[in-house]
Amino acid sequence: MTNEELIEKCEAVAKEIEDCLNWNDKILLTVLREKVPRMHKTLQQNFWRTINSLALSYSIVPYDLRNEASVKYCQKIAMLEDVGFPNI
């Protein structure tokens, strides 16, 4: 798979996540709670490294009342000691 193909695939996944969040975020949560722990351990680490990086970048976005709690939560995550999420 080329980088361009992977970017397209990831963009499609991001759109699917957006659609799931728009319709019923609890279903997405249920699925992720089931699937992530069953992933290969390295992929679990990659997943959480990605979530952590997303939280760090989200901690500095402008916010209003609709996303204020999310941004402030991510700001708290940004203040935690970096665990590094090593790639083993």
What confidence tens digit (pLDDT) does each residue in 58-68 have?
A: 999 999 999 99
Residues sharing a CB contact under 8 Å with residue 86, sequence separation 6 or more, in sequence order? 45
**49 and 88 housed in the same domain:** yes
pTM for the full predicted model: 0.86
**11 and 50 housed in the same domain:** no
- Number of independent structural domains in the chain: 2
**59 and 28 housed in the same domain:** no
Domain that holds residue 23: 1-38
**15 and 26 housed in the same domain:** yes
Cα angle 52-31-8, degrees, rounded to a multiple of 5: 65
Query: Quick one: 74 exposed, middle or buried, by C-beta within 10 A (0-12, 13-18, 19+)?
Result: buried
What CA–CA distance (Å, rounded) separates 83 from 49? Answer: 10
Q: Which among 34, 60, 36 is positioned nearest to 48, based on CA atoms?
A: 36
**28 and 46 housed in the same domain:** no
Q: What is the pLDDT of residues 5-25, one digit of tens each?
A: 999 999 999 999 999 999 999
pLDDT confidence of residue 86? 85
